[in-house]
Structure 1
Amino acid sequence: MRKDTKGDMVTTDTPNLRDAIEDRILTGALRPGARLDEVSLAQEFGVSRTPIRQALFQLAATGLVEQFPRRGAFVVDTGPARLREMFEVMAELEALCARNAARRASQADLQTLEECHEACRIAADSGDSDTYYYANEAFHDAIRVIGGNGFLHQEIGRLQKRLQAFRRLQLRARARIGASLREHAAILAAIGAGQSAEAADAMRSHVAIQNEQFTDLIATLQRNKSSSAA
């Protein structure tokens, strides 16, 4: 662990560097179009350029960063319309996984889901949104595995990379973690009861980001950018 130039503790692990840079993009500290200089970032985080380069490569896979030969990496601006479309597709793909899981889950699978749900509850109690995010992803990934469609799982993985940052940010909204946990309970109950249609509907509602929820996310992103520009 090291301290950055603001006195905050950071780690040299690439996933944590990725999350730290990702946070700066979402909070507007790194604005759309900004060049991400490896040397400056390495100095700021007290690491070599190699983990910074790896973190930027991972962020490029999510669509938050775009890399150009001989020019470097730049922050991408994901517009509201495209963001809504991606969440809409993700909701349908995840709903199909839940539908399959409800038909195919064994007793051992249900035990695994119960354990994942309990891990989410513990993470929720911690009050840390990032801790909950990773427990939440383990819950979702277990359902994808139980669903048994490898191609579907692979496609979700690709889209999940694009949405990861926004799903993390969404969980920072007041009361969202508690609501997410209750939605997990409904999904788990439907899968456990073998109710495929109900499981799909519960998952679709859980993943889809619509109406006030979507408006809140966009407002947060815009507020972050405005605050950074001030």
Structure 2
Amino acid sequence: MTKRTQVDVIREAVADRIVHGHLKPGEPLDEVSLAAEFGVSRTPIREALRQLEANGLALSRPHRGAIVTKLSPQQLDETFVVMAELEALSARLCAEVLAGGALAALEALHESGARPARENDVAAYRLHNERFHAAIYAGSGNAFLEETALAVRRRLAPFRNLQFEGYQRPEASHREHAAIVAAIVAGDGARAAKAMRDHILIVREAVEAVEAIDRAPPHRA
């Protein structure tokens, strides 16, 4: 697992605020204030904002600083459709090319997510989920597909993380992963692709459900 840098921590924290609606579209992302909050220089703040802009969550304005943007529901739908097809292709190729020790390693990786899923340990399961999907991309044996899938995943990362705030979502995700792994082990590319595609589209539905809760007005006693 790659060690998280200052930039990663800042980017993820600000992205989390944006997708939860704590930072609204049009609000400024002030470098000085963020640098003071995170106890860093403005250099990692600038890089984090640059990455947020690349992911569609910020907009840099010449001489006026960055402001919050957010992917619209249509943009999210379109991006998730692309992600689903990239991951489905990765799973299909895994079923066709993985064998022997590589299959055993994938099964072991999947099983390592059982405990955090069962215990609803969201932080641990998020890390496991990243490792699992990265293994599927790498297992495809297609370096360009892996690179492309990782790039799209980075764009969707804040939203994919949001899904795990849904009720018992880690446990459900682990069951969906089990269907994918079973198809890959069986060498059934078509079934693996369908299981993965279904999984990613369920993720989109889970994200929408959590966002709907965030949008709901606060309950008044």
* TM-score, with structure 2 as normaliser: 0.88
Residue type of the partner of 2:111? E
Gaps of 5+ in 2: none
- Within a 5 Å distance, the mapping from 1:103-114 to structure 2 comes to 103-114=96-107
Q: Is 1:29 equivalent to 2:22 in the alignment?
A: yes
Q: Distance in 1 between matches of 2:193 and 2:5?
A: 40
2:71 and 2:16 map into 1 onto residues whose CA distance is: 15
Report if aligned partners of 1:41, 1:52 keep a CA contact under 8 Å in 2.
yes
Give the letter aligned to residue 100 of structure 2.
Answer: Q
Inter-CA distance 211–156: structure 2 relative to 1 (3 Å threshold): closer
Alignment of 1:1-230 (within 5 A): 13-125=6-118, 127-209=120-202, 213=206, 215-223=208-216
Q: Is the 8 A contact 2:88 2:192 kept in 1?
A: yes
Listed as ranges, the gaps of 5+ residues in structure 1 are: 1-10
Matched residue type, 2:67: F
Shift of 1:94: 0.5
CA offsets 1:128-182 (integer angstroms, 9 cap, x no match): 3233122111111111111112222222122112211110001111121111000
- Aligned pair in 2 of structure 1 residues 163, 217: CA closer, same or farther (>3 Å)? same
* CA positional deviation for 1:215: 4.2
Q: Is the 8 A contact 2:118 2:171 kept in 1?
A: no
Distance 2:200 2:58 in 1: 24
Name the Cα RMSD after superposition: 2.2
- Contact 1:90 1:208 (C-alpha < 8 Å) held by counterparts: no
Structure 1 segments, 4+ long, off by >6 Å, are none
Residue 112 of structure 2 aligns to a residue whose secondary structure is helix
Aligned length: 215
Contact 2:18 2:70 in 1 (8 A): no
